[in-house]
Amino acid sequence: MTDSRFYRREGPFSLAQLAEISGGSLSDATMAGRMITDVAPLYRAAADDISFLDNRKYVQAFEACGAGACVVHPELAEMAPAGMGLIVTLEPYRAYAMIAHAFYPQSRTVADVSSHAVIDPTAKIGPGCRIEAGAVIAAGVEVGARCHIGANAVLREGVVMGDDCTIGSNATISYAILGNKVWIHAGAAIGQDGFGFAMGPKGHLKVPQLGRVIIQDDVEIGANTTIDRGAGPDTVIGEGCRIDNLVQIGHNVELGRGCVLVAQVGVSGSTRFADFVVAGGQSGITGHLKIGAGARIGAQSGVMRDVPAGQTVIGSPAVPAKEHWRQIGMLERLAKKHGA
Amino acid sequence: MTDSRFYRREGPFSLAQLAEISGGSLSDATMAGRMITDVAPLYRAAADDISFLDNRKYVQAFEACGAGACVVHPELAEMAPAGMGLIVTLEPYRAYAMIAHAFYPQSRTVADVSSHAVIDPTAKIGPGCRIEAGAVIAAGVEVGARCHIGANAVLREGVVMGDDCTIGSNATISYAILGNKVWIHAGAAIGQDGFGFAMGPKGHLKVPQLGRVIIQDDVEIGANTTIDRGAGPDTVIGEGCRIDNLVQIGHNVELGRGCVLVAQVGVSGSTRFADFVVAGGQSGITGHLKIGAGARIGAQSGVMRDVPAGQTVIGSPAVPAKEHWRQIGMLERLAKKHGA
Amino acid sequence: MTDSRFYRREGPFSLAQLAEISGGSLSDATMAGRMITDVAPLYRAAADDISFLDNRKYVQAFEACGAGACVVHPELAEMAPAGMGLIVTLEPYRAYAMIAHAFYPQSRTVADVSSHAVIDPTAKIGPGCRIEAGAVIAAGVEVGARCHIGANAVLREGVVMGDDCTIGSNATISYAILGNKVWIHAGAAIGQDGFGFAMGPKGHLKVPQLGRVIIQDDVEIGANTTIDRGAGPDTVIGEGCRIDNLVQIGHNVELGRGCVLVAQVGVSGSTRFADFVVAGGQSGITGHLKIGAGARIGAQSGVMRDVPAGQTVIGSPAVPAKEHWRQIGMLERLAKKHGA
């Protein structure tokens, strides 16, 4: 049961409704009318809750689960306890997400511009926006419809955003053009100067940073993440990217569509990701590289060379996954043999 | 000597008083009346200062030190210069901390609610709070007694905190329940959505994040650290934990009591730490793991498997410390032998 | 062409003028009068733009480039397309920086103290400052001439800064003394308590942090970077240092002049860097070490021992570069030989 301090629930829904919502199929039609009032994790779901099984680590919890219903992959369906309603689908996590959205729809932005926000008279604010106390919106900014600007967020001179964007509290956005449905979490810093200077023994000379940050539609950017603007070219975040907390994106970086960057990743300047690249937590990618479509970079890896499309690389320096595990295995064996 | 711009000092105290305050014993009773006016580092302590020796790296500085007194482990006491007063204890750093608290007691919060703070009328603020300019406290928030809310900090809807909490400037707290004596430093972002979505080639579908962040009593959380709220379960930070700057804690993570996470650590979703786990700087812990009580994780390690209680692991991927050092040693020897 | 939403351009300049500004020499005197209106990257520079070639990776783009002129190293000059004006210099990136500064001079701070800033009556603000909405300047703060304090930045009690400093939006500065021309980017947290406590099985006892952060002249500090104040000694950032985003600097650390710390570096407490040390992205340096002048630390390296002046170290644990690459090479060869 969610905490009513923070969440408001819709429903209840019948299992038939939830099967339709999720695109899964109900394994036992006689249960179509069973009413479900909430979503819950396996370990605490009760008779009127629906849960989901997506990770084999939790099969035991599934077998012991008291949920009235569960979303599950066909291969694991037979391990369900007796009496549990089953919505079967090849993508249980996605199906669960759709059900959870039904119970907890994203609350529509309630139009409300706080009298404690500071909005420059030259800024244009679209209809239906919520702008909270302490937000500062500078000259020439353009905000689309139904955007939500959190308390103490700062939109600096000239920033543009489309419709349905959310900017978290204490975030700072500058030199940036955002599409629609961009969600930037608390404390993120977008658009500041890249790390550009000519090094020299008598001191480092700053190089003017003259580009922007372009963020395409439907992008999520995590808390306290930093994205530098381009040095001349732009820094570009492609449509549908998901960027976690505390990630660093250097100047001129281009991410294709649907890339996923887990927390604390660092991408150095001018590197390009094609579409749907996944970078594991704390991995680092050197500057001026090309990472091919669908490539996967293991957590903590250090990528120093281009990565072909579809390849998985791991290690620091990163090598193809198979090679990495062979090195690790050999190291273990040798250490056992040669060890004192 | 501390900078009087920033610090106000109590005292002086006699060595007898300081021995009592620290729980140590004075090695020479004839010095009981020696008056000490301040604490100072070894390299600059003068005749009316007290210092401490806790790290053998600084024995030389100790031998040359001009401090009027020093807190020291019995094993190192004999290296003291002549005439130095000695407070001997098995825990010199802890004893020093108590002495430093005597000279520089944590200043009591002076009740003062700035007229430049924005506090929703439905928020409840306990007695004795200091709420600085630009702080934004949203609807339904409950703040206990004697809390200090820094300038431009944001407490979002429904957040609850106990007594004697400190929230740093520009920190953002949402979807969170805090105990007593919780100290969150500047810029931390607590309670935003976890990194949850169902990945897919046509786009990634966000999964509603429906839990909270529970922070138990006496927890310290560093500057610009990020802690995501639970996806359904809660994210839990146990009593007495110490979390450094720029740490990432994923959704559903549970830390036991007294865990120590050094700067830039990342803990992925649903991992559980038992009590008194120590994670070294920049280490990363994969999701869904169990780390046993008292386990120690080396700096920069990448933990991919459960760690039993009491074990020290190092490396990426992390292995037991002994095995790690054997691998490192062997690698060095082989590289020398086979190297060009 | 830069986006006029964000940038205003000076010029045009003749090639003769640009050669003089940059300290380079024009390779063909007949082109001295050619007028240049803007800087641009190689791939999109047109006949009235000037570009630069600094990285051999981009020689192809240089050969195909339509720029009216280019700054280039003498060794690469002969690869220029016919008709391109060439400014030849041993330091093309530095020369380009000077040219870019001519077209886009750093805008002078326009004196303007927002009525929405909150400035304690005891604070002293120098002439010519720009202080934006929502900035909070506490008691006893001293700000020099022509400083720019961004929206929602916080200067806590007693902070001092010299002339021509820039503090980014949502940054928090406390317990700090800043020189002239210090540039701190958005969201940085400077001066909070270091991570100091006496660990113990019954709980960790906080050690009062009694020092300051001293930031010398001409230092740049990246977005969301954290620098803890000293525990007793000060934390010191030397003149001319360049610190990137999301870097962690522990208490008592001292950086010499001109050090460069790339994004996500972590430096543990009491470590000292001599002058012009370079630390690559995501590298970590253990506490209480000495890193010699001009030393270079590879990206993601973990430094556990002192590093002599001028040495390059790589790896985790870090070893001299030559040794590191020998280990990596041997590991690859052995894995191929012993692999399945």
- Residue in C96, C103, C339 nearest the CB of A326: C339
| Active-site residue, from C73, C101, C148, C251 | C251
> What pLDDT, on a 0 to 100 scale, did the predictor assign at position C340?
46
> What pLDDT, on a 0 to 100 scale, did the predictor assign at position C10?
96
Contacts of C91 in chain A (CB under 8 A): 198, 200
> What pLDDT, on a 0 to 100 scale, did the predictor assign at position A225?
98
> What pLDDT, on a 0 to 100 scale, did the predictor assign at position B179?
98
pLDDT in tens, B217-260: 999 999 999 999 999 999 999 999 999 999 999 999 999 999 99
Question: Quick one: DSSP state of residue B52?
Answer: E
Q: What 3-state class would DSSP assign to A79? A: helix
**A284 CB near a chain B CB, below 8 Å?**
no
Which DSSP string do the residues of B133-148 spell out, in sequence order? TT-EE-TT-EE-TT-E
Lowest mean pLDDT among A141-150, B105-114, B156-165: B105-114
What's the rounded Cα separation, in Å, for the pair C276 and A203? 9
Cis peptide before B12 (omega within 30 of 0): yes
Which residues, in sequence order, are bridge partners of residue C85? C69
**B101 CB near a chain C CB, below 8 Å?**
yes
- Cα Rg of chain C, angstroms: 24
> What pLDDT, on a 0 to 100 scale, did the predictor assign at position A338?
67
Identify the closest residue of chain A to C100 by CA–CA distance.
A208
> What pLDDT, on a 0 to 100 scale, did the predictor assign at position C106?
86
Identify the closest residue of chain A to B317 by CA–CA distance.
A328
Global ipTM: 0.97
Contacts of A340 in chain B (CB under 8 A): 326
Give the distance from CA C284 to its chain's centroid.
18
Identify the closest residue of chain C to B1 by CA–CA distance.
C232
Q: How many CB atoms lie within 10 A of CB B308?
A: 14
Residue spans per domain, chain A: 13-103, 171-340
Q: A264 and B268: CB-CB below 8 Å?
A: no
Rama region for C310: left / alpha / beta (φ>0; ψ in -120 to 50; rest): left
Nearest alpha carbon to residue C266 among B262, B297, A280 = B262
Question: Quick one: DSSP state of residue B103?
Answer: H
> What pLDDT, on a 0 to 100 scale, did the predictor assign at position C1?
78
Please identify, in words, the CATH class of the domain defined by C171-340. Answer: mainly beta
Nearest alpha carbon to residue B193 among B272, B255, B250 = B250
**B302 CB near a chain C CB, below 8 Å?**
no
**Token pair listed for B85:** 């007063």
Q: B151 and C136: CB-CB below 8 Å?
A: yes
Cβ(C271)–Cβ(C287) below 8 Å: yes
| Active-site residue, from B148, B185, B251, B324 | B251
Q: What 3-state class would DSSP assign to C119? A: strand
Cβ(C68)–Cβ(C86) below 8 Å: no
**Token pair listed for C274:** 């001599």
Residue bearing tokens 């660990």? C199
Cβ(C283)–Cβ(C264) below 8 Å: no
What's the rounded Cα separation, in Å, for the pair B66 and B45? 6
Q: What 3-state class would DSSP assign to B59? A: helix
**Neighbouring chains to A with at least 3 Cβ pairs closer than 8 Å:** B, C
**C197 CB near a chain B CB, below 8 Å?**
yes
> What pLDDT, on a 0 to 100 scale, did the predictor assign at position C16?
97
Nearest alpha carbon to residue A198 among C185, C97, C245 = C97
> What pLDDT, on a 0 to 100 scale, did the predictor assign at position B339?
57
A287 burial level (CB within 10 Å; 0-12, 13-18, 19+): middle
Contacts of C268 in chain B (CB under 8 A): 262-263, 281
Indicate if the pLDDT at residue C154 is higher than 80. yes
**A246 CB near a chain C CB, below 8 Å?**
yes
- Residue in A192, A228, A248 nearest the CB of C168: A192
Residue C335's pLDDT band, with cuts at 50, 70 and 90, is confident
pLDDT in tens, C255-271: 999 999 999 999 999 99
**Token pair listed for A331:** 């190291």
Q: Please give the share of chain B, as a percent, with pLDDT higher than 70.
A: 99
> What pLDDT, on a 0 to 100 scale, did the predictor assign at position A162?
98
Show contacts of C156-159: CB within 8 Å, 24+ apart.
C156/B151, C156/B169, C156/C191, C157/B6, C158/B5, C158/B6, C159/C191
Mean pLDDT calculated for residue range B15-24: 97
Q: C276 and A201: CB-CB below 8 Å?
A: yes
Indicate if the pLDDT at residue B337 is higher than 90. no
What's the rounded Cα separation, in Å, for the pair C278 and B2? 31
> What pLDDT, on a 0 to 100 scale, did the predictor assign at position A109?
85
Nearest-neighbour CA in chain C from B201: distance (Å): 30
What's the rounded Cα separation, in Å, for the pair C66 and C216? 43
Nearest-neighbour CA in chain A from B186: distance (Å): 11
Q: Please give the share of chain C, as a percent, with pLDDT higher than 90.
A: 92
The strands making up C166-167's β-sheet, listed across from edge to edge, are: C112-113, C130-131, C148-149, C166-167, C183-184, C220-221, C242-243, C260-261, C278-279, C296-297, C312-314, C319-320
Q: C98 and A205: CB-CB below 8 Å?
A: yes
> What pLDDT, on a 0 to 100 scale, did the predictor assign at position C338?
67
- Domain C13-103, CATH homologous superfamily name and number: MurE/MurF, N-terminal domain (3.40.1390.10)
C52 Cβ neighbours under 8 A, 6+ residues apart: C42, C70, C71, C72, C92, C93, C95, C96
What's the rounded Cα separation, in Å, for the pair B51 and B137? 42
Q: A140 and C5: CB-CB below 8 Å?
A: yes
**Neighbouring chains to C with at least 3 Cβ pairs closer than 8 Å:** A, B
**C207 CB near a chain B CB, below 8 Å?**
yes
What's the rounded Cα separation, in Å, for the pair B96 and B309? 30
pLDDT in tens, C200-243: 888 899 999 999 999 999 999 999 999 999 999 999 999 999 99
Contacts of A264 in chain C (CB under 8 A): 264
Cβ(A26)–Cβ(A46) below 8 Å: no
- Residue in A3, A39, A242 nearest the CB of B197: A242
> What pLDDT, on a 0 to 100 scale, did the predictor assign at position C108?
82
Q: How many CB atoms lie within 10 A of CB C82?
A: 4
Please determine, looking at this structure, whether the domain spanning B195-340 carries the CATH number 3.40.50.300: no
> What pLDDT, on a 0 to 100 scale, did the predictor assign at position A339?
57
pTM of the model: 0.97
Q: How many CB atoms lie within 10 A of CB B171?
A: 31
pLDDT in tens, C14-61: 999 999 999 999 999 999 999 999 999 999 999 999 999 998 889 999
Give the distance from CA B260 to its chain's centroid.
7
pLDDT in tens, B37-75: 999 999 999 999 999 998 888 999 999 999 999 999 999
> What pLDDT, on a 0 to 100 scale, did the predictor assign at position A107?
80
> What pLDDT, on a 0 to 100 scale, did the predictor assign at position A288?
96
Pick out chain A residues at pLDDT < 70.
Answer: 338-340
The verdict on whether C251 is a catalytic residue reads: yes
> Could you tell me the end-to-end alpha-carbon distance of chain C, in angstroms, rounded to an integer?
55
**Average of per-residue pLDDT values in chain B:** 96
Contacts of B151 in chain C (CB under 8 A): 118, 136, 138, 154, 156
Where is pLDDT greater, at C337 or B314?
B314
Indicate if the pLDDT at residue B340 is higher than 80. no
What's the rounded Cα separation, in Å, for the pair B166 and C91? 50
pLDDT in tens, B118-149: 999 999 999 999 999 999 999 999 999 999 99
